[in-house]
């Protein structure tokens, strides 16, 4: 089976959270509201049939429980029915998988009238969450990260466990992933070959896409996203074994702690951790209140993933509640309390303040600490001692 070496650079978009303008949040809120009411207020019977289940979940493979499902971004009022109806494996102590093809501000629910189910809520209910970062109305996703998501889906489907794919409406971004997922699920059904036996990428995609649209009428994958899906098929699908390439990750040099932080394995671990998702969804809202504070934490993350081991000491100092008045480095994020915060929070564009930021930093510390100590026992204590000797009070 072909192997795909994923590099750290593929994760760069996860380290760059854009400021969410009021206009952008309002557009998301309005379109998400339209999504959630389509199935409850159809204009006529035909629309009810064609657009049914906008805020529910359609089986894509096998028409059986524990299959692959596609739907909209779930809000908390939908959580209990989703867990009960489509994740029956939870009752047997097994897990399920949710793949979100969303931007961070969408996962945070910026501008939405409903409370969005967070990655932590999935985890707390025994469902693993995988984030495939994509911005709405774009095809800005690296093909290797699509293959990574497919590998995660396959790991659950091989166990007969359910997988739920979503973006905002379950139409385009997650529709693109769903086309590839059903090819992966049943390659014998969808793989097409030319007369000379050569694998036909276009025909394979078209056949799977038609099947998907037949199961969920709302799906509309634009040409830009279709091109990404076809690139994934052309570059990373082996028509002989009828499987996608298996992702692999450089783990760094065992003799060099900084090398571990610079590795693709660490980046994958970090961006899929609950603490990091919580931090970045916070930042997507917090940017409206303090672009300076957001810039501080993003700069810190950039230094961390590029091997700056002094970042470990800063995380430890904040976790121990030291230097509560400092305004340098990571402390500028944790300690700041600008005057606009309460105002923007009241409008729903900024989360709570200083205590939550401190908790986010503590959780990030625990996540990074677990990785560093597993790879390099003792490195954490050395880094903390180094920073303590050289830190300057501000």
**Residue 230 confidence (pLDDT):** 98
**Residue 319 confidence (pLDDT):** 85
Q: State the average pLDDT over residues 303-326.
A: 84
Q: State the average pLDDT over residues 45-51.
A: 53
Distance CA 17, CA 368 (A): 20
59 falls in which pLDDT band (50, 70, 90)?
A: low
Q: Could you tell me how many helices (H) and strands (E) the chain has, helices first?
A: 19, 9
**Residue 321 confidence (pLDDT):** 74
pLDDT greater than 70 at residue 308: yes
Percent of the chain predicted with pLDDT > 70:
82
pLDDT greater than 60 at residue 349: no
Q: Which residue has the tokens 């944790």?
A: 334
Average pLDDT along the chain: 84
Element (H, E) at 131: strand 127-131
Q: Which domains does the chain have, with CATH numbers?
A: 3-248 (3.90.190.10), 257-390 (no CATH)
Residue 124, classified by CB atoms within 10 Å of its CB into exposed (0-12), middle (13-18) or buried (19+), is exposed
**Residue 63 confidence (pLDDT):** 44
Give the tens place of pLDDT for each residue, 289-300: 567 778 888 899
357 falls in which pLDDT band (50, 70, 90)?
A: confident
382 falls in which pLDDT band (50, 70, 90)?
A: confident
pLDDT greater than 80 at residue 387: no
pLDDT greater than 80 at residue 330: no
Give the tens place of pLDDT for each residue, 66-109: 689 998 899 998 898 888 878 877 777 888 999 999 999 999 99
- Residue, of 69 and 322, whose pLDDT is higher: 69
Q: Concatenated DSSP letters for 318-367?
A: HHTT--TT--STTHHHHH---THHHHHHHTTSS---HHHHHHHHHHHHHH
**Residue 92 confidence (pLDDT):** 78
**Residue 394 confidence (pLDDT):** 40
Give the tens place of pLDDT for each residue, 143-163: 999 999 999 999 999 998 999
Select the highest-mean-pLDDT range: 5-14, 31-40, 251-260: 5-14
340 falls in which pLDDT band (50, 70, 90)?
A: very low
């Amino acid at each position: 089976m072909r192997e795909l070496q994923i590099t750290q650079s593929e994760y760069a978009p996860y380290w760059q959270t854009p400021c969410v303008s009021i206009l952008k949040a309002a557009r998301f809120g309005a379109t998400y509201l339209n999504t959630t009411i389509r199935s409850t207020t159809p204009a006529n019977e035909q629309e009810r049939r064609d657009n049914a289940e906008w805020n529910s979940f359609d089986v894509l493979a096998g028409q059986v429980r524990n299959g692959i499902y596609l739907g909209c971004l779930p809000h908390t009022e939908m959580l209990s029915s989703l867990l009960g109806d489509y994740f029956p494996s939870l009752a047997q102590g097994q897990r399920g998988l949710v793949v979100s093809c969303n931007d961070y501000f969408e996962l945070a629910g910026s501008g939405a009238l409903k409370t969005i189910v967070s990655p932590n809520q999935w985890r707390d209910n025994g469902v693993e969450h995988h984030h495939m970062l994509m911005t709405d109305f774009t095809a800005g996703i690296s093909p290797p990260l699509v293959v990574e998501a497919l590998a995660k889906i396959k790991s659950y489907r091989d166990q007969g466990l359910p997988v739920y794919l979503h973006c905002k409406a379950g139409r385009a971004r997650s529709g693109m992933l769903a086309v590839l997922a059903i090819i992966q699920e049943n390659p014998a059904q969808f793989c097409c070959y030319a007369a000379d036996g050569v694998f036909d990428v276009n025909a394979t995609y078209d056949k799977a896409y038609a099947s998907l649209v037949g199961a969920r009428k709302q799906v509309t994958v634009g040409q830009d996203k279709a091109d990404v899906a076809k690139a994934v098929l052309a570059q990373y699908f082996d028509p002989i074994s009828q499987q996608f390439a298996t992702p692999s990750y450089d783990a760094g040099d065992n003799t060099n702690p900084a090398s571990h932080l610079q590795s693709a394995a660490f980046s994958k671990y970090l961006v899929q951790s609950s603490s990091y998702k919580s931090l970045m969804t916070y930042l997507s809202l917090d940017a409206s209140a303090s672009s300076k504070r957001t810039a501080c934490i993003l700069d810190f993350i950039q230094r961390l993933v590029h091997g700056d081991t002094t970042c470990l000491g800063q995380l430890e100092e904040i976790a121990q509640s030291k230097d509560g008045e400092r305004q340098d480095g990571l402390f500028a994020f944790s300690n700041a309390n600008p005057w606009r915060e309460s105002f923007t929070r009241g409008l729903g564009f900024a989360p709570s303040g200083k205590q939550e930021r401190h908790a986010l930093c503590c959780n990030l510390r625990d996540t990074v600490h677990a990785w560093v100590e597993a790879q390099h026992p003792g490195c954490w204590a050395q880094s903390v001692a180094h920073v303590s000797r050289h830190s300057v009070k501000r």
